[in-house]
C-alpha cells in the first residue's frame, strides 16, 4: 500500500486531469488493495469514486462499485451504478435489469423499479416472479415488501 501511495503521488503531476485511463487503473488497483489487504472498504469506495474522474470505469469495476455502495446502504448510489450497467448490458441485459430493479426497490424508487420490471418482462415474459413484482408495483400493492423477493436469494 505504501508503495502504491508513493507511486500515485509521484506521477500525479503528469496525470491528465480530464482523462487518464492508466492513472485510473492505478487508482482502481489501490481501491481493490485497500479493500482486500486492509479491509478498509470506506477508503476503497472513495478511491474508486476518485478513479471515475479520469474516465469511464470498466464494467467489472463498475459492478464492484455498485456492490460496495449497496453493502454500505447507499442504495440510491447503487441504483445509479445499476442504471449504467443496464446501458452497458453488463453482465447481460436481464441480469442488469434485475439488479436495477433490486437497487431501485431498496432505494424506494418504485417508479424506476416498475420500469426495470417492465423492461425485464419484455425480454423474459414468462418469468412469473417478475410478473408478480411488476403487477404489484403497477398497482402500488405494498411495494416496500417486494425487496424481500431479492433478499431471500
Average pLDDT over residues 138-146: 94
**Mean pLDDT (the chain, rounded):** 93
The set of cell numbers assigned to 95 is 441480469
Give the N- to C-terminal CA distance of the chain in Å, as an integer: 36
CB 69 within 8 A of CB 56: no
User: Which pTM does this prediction carry?
Assistant: 0.84
- Looking at beta carbons, which pairs linking 110-115 to residues 24 or more positions away fall under 8 Å? 110/137, 110/140, 110/143, 112/79, 113/137, 113/143, 113/146, 114/138
> How far apart, in whole angstroms, are the C-alpha atoms of residue 100 and residue 93?
10
pLDDT digits (tens, 9 = 90+) for 14-59: 999 989 999 999 999 999 999 998 889 999 999 998 999 998 888 9
- With a pLDDT cut of 90, the percent of the chain lying above it is 82
* Sign, CA torsion 125/149/90/85: positive
Amino acid at each position: 500500500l505504501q508503495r502504491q501511495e508513493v507511486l500515485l503521488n509521484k506521477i500525479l503531476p503528469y496525470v491528465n486531469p480530464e482523462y487518464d485511463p492508466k492513472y485510473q487503473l492505478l487508482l482502481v488497483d489501490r481501491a481493490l488493495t485497500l479493500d482486500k489487504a486492509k479491509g478498509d472498504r470506506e477508503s476503497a469506495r472513495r478511491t474508486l469514486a476518485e478513479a471515475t474522474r479520469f474516465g469511464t470505469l470498466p464494467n467489472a469495476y463498475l459492478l464492484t462499485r455498485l456492490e460496495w455502495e449497496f453493502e454500505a446502504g447507499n442504495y440510491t448510489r447503487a441504483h445509479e451504478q445499476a442504471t449504467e450497467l443496464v446501458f452497458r448490458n453488463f453482465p447481460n441485459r436481464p441480469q442488469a435489469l434485475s439488479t436495477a430493479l433490486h437497487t431501485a426497490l431498496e432505494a424506494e424508487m418504485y417508479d424506476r423499479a416498475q420500469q426495470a420490471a417492465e423492461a425485464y418482462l419484455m425480454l423474459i415474459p414468462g418469468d412469473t416472479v417478475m410478473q408478480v413484482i411488476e403487477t404489484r408495483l403497477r398497482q402500488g400493492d405494498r411495494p416496500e415488501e417486494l425487496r424481500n423477493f431479492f433478499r431471500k436469494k
